[in-house]
Structure 1
Amino acid sequence: MSSPRYTHIVWPLFRIVVGLLFTCHGLSSLFGLFGGKGGTGASVPVGTWPGWYAAVIQLVCGLLVLFGLFTRPAAILASGSMAYAYFTVHQPNGLMPIENGGVTPALYSWTFLLIAAFGAGAWSVDELIAGRRAQVAPAPEVERV
């Protein structure tokens, strides 16, 4: 049974929570916050491929998705980076995510693909910008006969 009655509330909350969690991954990897890599509190060395770049993507795209700014491009980049992480780091260790430790990147990849497909929704900067553009846009001229 579908309940579109709550979609306008649940979808933005989903986007916000996913963006926040992804941001926390970036903060953890870059600055050792929240226990850092493996709980050691250590951060990824600057410029290290691919870890440092992945962490920057996590931080920036996580924040963009969290606030709903440039949501679709940020979600596409985040989805692709998680797919890359899955196929290069996890998939060589086994076929299924449950056996190769790749459940998190697989879920993030599909989650961000979903966000890219549906957009930011309510409570987003993207929606504010679209609303202002609609207010400023001149009404189309009607030809009189």
Structure 2
Amino acid sequence: MNRAQPYALGLFRIVVGLLFACHGAASLFGVLGGAMGGGSIPAGTWPGWYAALIQLVGGTLILLDLGTRLAAFVASGSMAYAYFKVHQPEALFPLQNGGEPSAVFCWVFLLLVFTGPGSLALDRLFARRSGAEPSADRTREQAPAVAA
């Protein structure tokens, strides 16, 4: 199971990034059901339009593993803001205030900040092509486990 961990993490990152980008695309462009089923959010509207832009750009970056840790950090913060400013004032718990997606995305992205992107990453492909050394977290993923 441990050998599959980087691949499972990579697949997890891809799926979560795609879902997050779809939320942004729905809000910005009115596709996939639009913003709450009612079309797109007007450009520049605070905070919805900016949140949707973070969702689209951040989700795409996370999906493709282009600066995953930084994109996940920004995405996590935006979801924490969404939860505490939009949902939490309505009721205390996420089940009561409709904030489950915001809370879950916040914690998922915070996890990616600390775990890194896993395998199946474009950053690794670019590092190989340029001849650069992979980052420290990628080297650690490839290193065999040492028994204590």
- TM bin, normalised by shorter chain, reads 0.7 to 0.9
Equivalent residue, structure 2, for 1:18: 16
Give the equivalent residue in structure 2 for 1:73.
Answer: 70
Q: SS of 1:127's equivalent?
A: helix
In the alignment, what sits opposite 1:134? Answer: 133
Two-structure CA RMSD over aligned residues (Å): 1.3
Counting only pairs closer than 5 Å after superposition, residues 25-104 of structure 1 correspond to structure 2 as 25-40=23-38, 42-104=39-101
Q: Distance in 2 between matches of 1:65 and 1:50?
A: 21
Q: Which has the larger radius of gyration?
A: 1
Question: What is the identity percentage for the equivalent residue pairs of Structure 1 and Structure 2?
Answer: 55
Unaligned runs of 5+ in 2: 135-148
- Decide which moves more: 5-14 or 93-102: 5-14
**SS state of the match for residue 88, structure 2?**
helix
Contact 1:121-1:127 at 8 Å conserved across structures = no
TM-score (norm 2): 0.85
**CA distance in 2: counterparts of 1:121 and 1:5, whole angstroms:** 12
4+ aligned runs moved over 3 Å, structure 1: 129-132
Query: What secondary structure, in the 3-state scheme, does the structure 1 residue paired with 2:5 have?
Result: helix
Out of 5, 8, 14, the residue aligned to residue 7 of structure 1 is 5
Aligned residues: 132
Q: Could you list the runs of 5+ residues in structure 1 that have no partner in the other structure?
A: 136-145
Shift of 1:130: 4.1
